[in-house]
Structure 1
Amino acid sequence: LRSPESHDTIIELLKHAKKGAMKFFDINLRGDHYSKELIEELLGQATVFKINDDELFLLRDMFDIRGTSDDNACRWFLDTFDLDYVILTGGASFSTIMSKTGETSTINTPRVEVADTVGAGDSFSGTFTGKLLNGATLKEAHRAAVNTSAFVCTQEGAWPTYPEEGIPDYCQIINGE
């Protein structure tokens, strides 16, 4: 959304999404290519908001929600923008997914031998979305997303060949199942 043309195109496409469609906003703050107004506009369109811990730190100041825990800040976004899910990633530490129903899943980031992190975030997002849309529970979708992202990190490049026997289970759950 760095140019007026791409902004207008994406907003127009969002207008044509089916009612009730999942609309995933992975914020990816880069340089000075964002504003509070743009973020509010996109959050108003989204049903899922993915943010990392560094981005959350910046948004706390922007939205005047300083002095609160990560969980409370994420819940603020969930409630304020009527989102279905907020996904908070903490890099090499953890990921947490909160739902508007109050369900939360937190998983430690697996320790793997990292070959390349390119594609890890997108593989997480795609797996989470695909699993949810195919009927998985929040915890099942989260676990699959973490495992896929960990596997991608063990491979060179963003599009690895996936093993026929399936992706290994790397997860160590913090809460829940």
Structure 2
Amino acid sequence: MPSTSPLLPPVVVGEVLFDHFPDGNRVLGGAPLNLAWNLQGLGVPSIFISAVGKDSEGELIQQEMTSWGMSTRGLQIVDHPTGRVSVTMVDGQPEYDIVNEVAFDFIQPPSFPITANEFSMLCYGSLAFRCPTTRRTLTDLIQQSGLDRFVDINIRDPFFDVAWLDTLLGGARWVKLSEAELSRLVDAPCNDQSQIAAGCETLRGRFDIDTVLVTCGSEGAHACSAGSHEFSPVAPVDSLADTVGAGDSFAAATIAGLIRNVPIREILPKAAKFASQVCTIHGATSKDQSFYDQASA
């Protein structure tokens, strides 16, 4: 049965930035921020640990988070510019030019303790490891917090190094990645259900992971754990806006279910559906609470 006890908030660590699109639009983003924002919309407040600069975009991020009801307790203000990404669409898929050495690369240890008594899980991706300061902060949280970990790896070349994988993935309870990322990490094709299952088992065994979640775009999503392989298809959407943030929204809906102790076989179709719904809006998040209420119905 899903839990009815008070929910302990997850801790989300990593980048916050503005995505700048070719049409001139500017959208608040960064996979961890998208995750925390969507969790808030889905009724799961989190503690978001990141950093912004002493600039207008940093101030706007603080305002946007506050207006959405998010805590800014973990948001640090540092002497580096707020993160920025230029997004271009190539064959319908987003490509990202991520500016280096920005505020989120200089996240310091939080000023409050991160323990299993107060928080439910630790959530992060790989981009936080690209610079030494944030890498050190996140490594300490991984090693010292004692929290279950949900890793949405979000490989962003050229800011990725396989040498990080033991720390990022080792002993994680949940790892979410795309079929292309899975294929890359296990160095094997992952084009059908049997190949994906084999890839998941390889990854699970190599890094002692409990459950691997694999998103396959419009084809659906998989969840593989010991002795179990769940799959959920995705219903096509009526009007595709873009696919920016689809993976982040899948992760958010999955985490919302996990925190409520919903079985993964029930979480998977809801998470896949929510990800497809996000593809009907521009960007990865919405400021319309009814959008999230419909997704939770």
Q: TM-score, normalised by structure 2?
A: 0.50
CA contact (8 A) 1:97 1:104 kept: yes
Structure 2 Cα separation of the partners of residues 77 and 164 of structure 1: 32
Structure 2 Cα separation of the partners of residues 37 and 135 of structure 1: 33
Instruction: Assess, with a 3 A threshold, how the Cα gap between structure 1 residues 168 and 130 changes in structure 2: closer, same or farther.
Output: closer
Which of 144, 151, 161 is equivalent to 2:270? 144
Q: Note if 1:4 corresponds to 2:127.
A: no
- What corresponds to 1:175 in structure 2? none
Secondary structure (helix, strand or coil) at the match of 2:148 reads coil
- CA root-mean-square deviation: 2.3
Q: Which runs of 5+ in 2 are unaligned?
A: 1-128
- What corresponds to 2:46 in structure 1? none
- What corresponds to 1:109 in structure 2? 234
Which of 154, 167, 188 is equivalent to 1:41? 167
Which of 152, 174, 196 is equivalent to 1:70? 196
Structure 2 Cα separation of the partners of residues 164 and 59 of structure 1: 33
Instruction: Assess, with a 3 A threshold, how the Cα gap between structure 1 residues 168 and 25 changes in structure 2: closer, same or farther.
Output: closer
Give the % identical residues. 28
Structure 1 Cα separation of the partners of residues 277 and 292 of structure 2: 13
Q: Which runs of 5+ in 1 are unaligned?
A: 170-177
Q: CA deviation at 1:83?
A: 1.2
**Larger-Rg structure:** 2
Instruction: Assess, with a 3 A threshold, how the Cα gap between structure 1 residues 87 and 165 changes in structure 2: closer, same or farther.
Output: closer
Q: CA deviation at 1:66?
A: 6.8
Q: Note if 1:86 corresponds to 2:212.
A: yes
Secondary structure (helix, strand or coil) at the match of 1:28 reads coil
Structure 2 Cα separation of the partners of residues 95 and 128 of structure 1: 11
Instruction: Assess, with a 3 A threshold, how the Cα gap between structure 1 residues 151 and 7 changes in structure 2: closer, same or farther.
Output: same
Instruction: Assess, with a 3 A threshold, how the Cα gap between structure 1 residues 45 and 78 changes in structure 2: closer, same or farther.
Output: closer
Structure 2 Cα separation of the partners of residues 52 and 3 of structure 1: 24
Q: Deviations over 1:110-140 (max 9, x none)?
A: 2112113222211110110110120211111
* Count of aligned pairs: 163
CA contact (8 A) 1:97 1:142 kept: yes
Q: CA deviation at 1:164?
A: 7.4
- What corresponds to 2:245 in structure 1? 119
Secondary structure (helix, strand or coil) at the match of 1:98 reads strand
Instruction: State the one-letter code of the partner of 1:43.
Output: L
Instruction: Assess, with a 3 A threshold, how the Cα gap between structure 1 residues 164 and 15 changes in structure 2: closer, same or farther.
Output: closer
Stretch moving more, 66-75 or 48-57? 66-75
Displaced runs of 4+ in structure 1, greater than 4 A?
A: 65-68
Secondary structure (helix, strand or coil) at the match of 1:167 reads helix
Which of 121, 125, 132 is equivalent to 2:258? 132
Which of 20, 43, 57 is equivalent to 2:183? 57
Structure 2 Cα separation of the partners of residues 119 and 34 of structure 1: 19
Secondary structure (helix, strand or coil) at the match of 2:142 reads helix
- What corresponds to 1:172 in structure 2? none
Instruction: Assess, with a 3 A threshold, how the Cα gap between structure 1 residues 124 and 66 changes in structure 2: closer, same or farther.
Output: closer
- What corresponds to 2:143 in structure 1? 15
CA contact (8 A) 1:86 1:99 kept: yes
Structure 2 Cα separation of the partners of residues 114 and 78 of structure 1: 34
Q: Deviations over 1:59-97 (max 9, x none)?
A: 233xxx679822111111112322121011112212101
Q: Structure 1 or 2: larger strand share?
A: 2
Secondary structure (helix, strand or coil) at the match of 1:115 reads coil
